[in-house]
Structure 1
């Protein structure tokens, strides 16, 4: 596998860029600036980036049909109309935990929205992983989560992979695609010896996992069958937050980054922190699903 060098495609200067998802029909990349309290729609062809203010922390955005997206925010799952810019609250499973917020999230092939929470202070494991089955049905599937992050599935959909960044662990679960249930959790990858923390994650067409390294200056490729690191692509920003495959052929890996916590004296070393980067890693990716897909 060969890879081009990473290229800056949007100098977004996001505080905490995260949660990228590719909309194949629109040929656009959706992503969030969690701390900036916005989500975005980026056209890689024209370079145009449209910003949608949410007014609160927003951890993930997924498509939900024509002109509509689903968000995982500080106050739970919400629907957003791209034309009217109207935000509609759906369900808040942690209304009793105002110190928490939603972080990363992703839809499975049946259109369920998986998204997890974390403590804003990032000290205790008070978060959880939830599944939004439809606009009114939400269930908790994992408890005692530190920083809920990347989610991916095996190509045959018999396994789900899930990252808790605070614990520096990548888990594997047995996955029931029909019922949207997980079981038999086990540690797949321990990041203690890796540079940085495991953050966002995606999978490629060969079934390998791509993991963003927060404070690690890279994205890395892993074999989930052997738990071996296969490759690493350097990124010119320390806080690499997530990645997703996009483009006409799903052969471009889009990478989000953050400027959060970077001191003014460090900006000269990474002037494009908070930008969106892209690379063709020599392998194609897997489809991004939307809410309600089946």
Structure 2
């Protein structure tokens, strides 16, 4: 099926990531990781404001008071929506100079999950962490290399997770009451020619939407049988993540990057690093605020 993919914001960001649609204020939030920026975008007029965090930011959500809860270079911190000094919550990776935090989001119970990545891509040296409602941080998955996409199924009994170099989506059994995960299994693998699986979300039919870095696309997958249902081209080679939002959460917002692109690539994809959107014909999961 052909979709009308449009540019929401010609941001030309080096590394746009972590799109988060807030149901309360109806805005799209996203981060420019290496610049240490947290952005607030109104998609209709395409306006965008930002605050700087003073460190790289892999992901950011809002808490109940409207402050940012973010995953930074080495840990979790709180930052006013107006900017200013940040407040450290926990820094579990200060002893690992080869890591920074990467993608993350809140589960339906309001816990903030975020993982790290090895800057040198050393296999198995990163991890996935959870910041619970009491402000305690625990390591939930070890042996990770580049922690990325997260999604929870409609019954809230499964958590889907991507460690990018594995090119697999892993399903964990999860207990939403206490946040415990167990029994990991490979739900499906993605073909190497599609690029590297990055950020992820889930629609209201239980299908996963995955952004493919170096793949210039997002693709929809059935996690029960591993079938790729459809592939949607994005006018940027490095597609980083996606989320549902807008009216009735019927729009898929897509973030991209322009890092590492040469002049020829930038001529071919001048809007790389922008924020894109299209209507996929299905609504999807909301963004959740941190409930700490």
Normalized against structure 2, the TM-score is what?
0.97
Distance of 2:33 and 2:289 partners within structure 1 = 20
How far residue 240 of structure 1 moved from its aligned partner, in angstroms, is 0.3
Question: Can you list the C-alpha shifts for 1:86-142, whole angstroms capped at 9, x where unaligned?
Answer: 311110111111220000001011110011001122233211000000353010110
Cα RMSD, aligned residues only: 1.3
- Are positions 1:265 and 2:264 aligned together? yes
How far residue 3 of structure 1 moved from its aligned partner, in angstroms, is 5.3
How far residue 194 of structure 1 moved from its aligned partner, in angstroms, is 4.2
How far residue 282 of structure 1 moved from its aligned partner, in angstroms, is 0.5
Distance of 2:98 and 2:77 partners within structure 1 = 18
Contact persistence 1:24–1:248 (CA under 8 A): no
Alignment of 1:42-81 (within 5 A): 42-81=41-80
Distance of 1:187 and 1:117 partners within structure 2 = 20
Partner of 2:7: 8
SS of 2:101's equivalent in the other structure is: strand
Partner of 1:111: 110
Distance of 1:195 and 1:224 partners within structure 2 = 17
Partner of 1:36: 35
Partner of 2:231: 232
Contact persistence 1:56–1:74 (CA under 8 A): yes
Distance of 1:244 and 1:260 partners within structure 2 = 21
How far residue 67 of structure 1 moved from its aligned partner, in angstroms, is 2.9
Contact persistence 1:3–1:282 (CA under 8 A): no
Partner of 2:243: 244
How far residue 84 of structure 1 moved from its aligned partner, in angstroms, is 5.2
Distance of 2:205 and 2:6 partners within structure 1 = 24
Contact persistence 1:3–1:279 (CA under 8 A): no
Contact persistence 1:118–1:125 (CA under 8 A): no
Alignment of 1:1-294 (within 5 A): 4-83=3-82, 85-134=84-133, 136-292=135-291
Residues 1:84 and 1:261: Cα distance change in structure 2 (over 3 Å): closer
Contact persistence 2:198–2:240 (CA under 8 A): yes
5+ residue gaps, structure 2, are none
Contact persistence 1:145–1:164 (CA under 8 A): yes
5+ residue gaps, structure 1, are none
Distance of 2:183 and 2:269 partners within structure 1 = 41
Distance of 2:127 and 2:195 partners within structure 1 = 22
